[in-house]
Amino acid sequence: MTTESPRWFKSSYSDNGGACVEVATNLVPSRGVVPVRDSKHTDGPELGFTADAFAAFVDGLKAV
């Protein structure tokens, strides 16, 4: 079991207007998940997506 902590970051496109999410991609190699959380509620719940699902999401956003 790993004790690695998420290293959260926001997109460089974030304008810091408060409607942001943070992701922690550093957990993909050890856990295979990308946690996502609301940047306004850092102590709140996190959603965990598989690396493939998150990559598909990002690809979909880039296609818009």
Q: What is the pLDDT of residue 2?
A: 57
Cα separation, 51 vs 35, in Å, equals 10
The stretches in the chain having pLDDT less than 70 are 1-2, 16
Beta-bridged to residue 24, according to DSSP, are none
Cα separation, 9 vs 28, in Å, equals 14
Cα separation, 38 vs 21, in Å, equals 5
Structure tokens at 36: 């996502």
Q: What is the pLDDT of residue 60?
A: 97
Cα separation, 47 vs 14, in Å, equals 19
The DSSP call for residue 8 is -
